[in-house]
Chains A and B, each alone.
Chain A
Amino acid sequence: AQSVAQPEDQVNVAEGNPLTVKCTYSVSGNPYLFWYVQYPNRGLQFLLKYITGDNLVKGSYGFEAEFNKSQTSFHLKKPSALVSDSALYFCAVRDGDTGGFKTIFGAGTRLFVKA
C-alpha cells in the first residue's frame, strides 16, 4: 500500500527567503509524485509532478521539487517566497506499477509567508 507523510503541519517563512515543504512517500512500485496547492474554500491546483526523467522537477509559480529515490522524498522548494504563496500544500503519490488509479494524499502542510 502507498502512503505519504508530510511531517510539518505548518511552515513559516519570511517573504523573499527560500522555502521548503517536506514530503516522504512509500510505494511498492514506481512512484508517481505530485504537489498540489489549495487556497481557502477552493479545490486543488496542480503544481508539479514527477513521473520519470530528471530528478529536479520545475512547476508552476516558481516552485520546484526534487525526487530522491534513496531517501524516498519529494520536497517542494521555492528560492524566494511570496506572501501570495501562503496556502495549504499537499503531496500525493500513486503507485505507477500496481496502484491503479488511486492517488493518496499527505495530511497537508500550511505555509505562512510573512511580509
Chain B
Amino acid sequence: GAVVSQHPSRVICKSGTSVKIECRSLDFQATTMFWYRQFPKKSLMLMATSNEGSKATYEQGVEKDKFLINHASLTLSTLTVTSAHPEDSSFYICSARDFSSYNEQFFGPGTRLTVL
C-alpha cells in the first residue's frame, strides 16, 4: 500500500523556538495532505487541509500564523509550529490522499512534539 513518512518522529524544543515537521508521500502523488493533532487518549483533530500549490485551509480555531503549512510539491507538505509553547506539545499526524484508491487517506507514523 501507499506509504506516508514523517520526520522527525520525535522532537523536543525550548519554548519560543520554531519546529518544522515534514510529511512525505513516498510512492504516490498527493495533491492534498491533511494535518491532525492528537491529544493524549483523545481523537484526532483535523487542523488543516494542505493543497499543493495553494494556501492551506485551516479548521476553525486553529491559528494559521502559529501553524504554518507549506505544500510545495506533490509529495511534500510541512507543518511549522512557530514560537512554540508547552501547550503545543502533542502528537501531530499527517495524512495524504491517494486519488487512485477511492480517495483513501494514508497516515504517517506521527511526530511527538514536546515543548519545554
Contact = CB atoms under 8 A, between A and B. Distances in A.
Interface of A: 32, 34, 36, 41-46, 49, 51, 90, 94, 101-108
Contacts of A105: 43-44
Contact of A108 (B42, B49, B106, B110): B42
Interface residues of B, number: 25
A107 B44 CA distance: 8
12 contacts: A41-B91, A41-B112, A43-B6, A43-B109, A43-B110, A44-B44, A102-B46, A103-B34, A103-B46, A105-B43, A105-B44, A106-B43
Interface stretch (B12-20, B66-74, B75-83, B96-104): B96-104
B35 interface: no
Interface in B1-57: 1, 4, 6, 32, 34, 41-44, 46, 49
B114 interface: no
Nearest to A9: B41
Contacts of A46: 1, 104, 106-107
Nearest to B6: A43
Contacts of B49: 101-102
A42 B34 contact: no
Nearest to A108: B43
Contacts of B32: 101
A49 B106 CA distance: 12
Contacts of B44: 44, 90, 105
Contacts of B46: 102-104
Contact of A44 (B97, B102, B103, B107): B107
A15 B95 CA distance: 32
A103 B32 CA distance: 12
A51 B102 contact: yes
Nearest to B38: A38
Nearest to B93: A43
A25 to B, nearest CB: 14
B102 to A, nearest CB: 5
A23 B32 CA distance: 27
B43 A107 contact: yes
A106 B106 CA distance: 17
B94 to A, nearest CB: 9
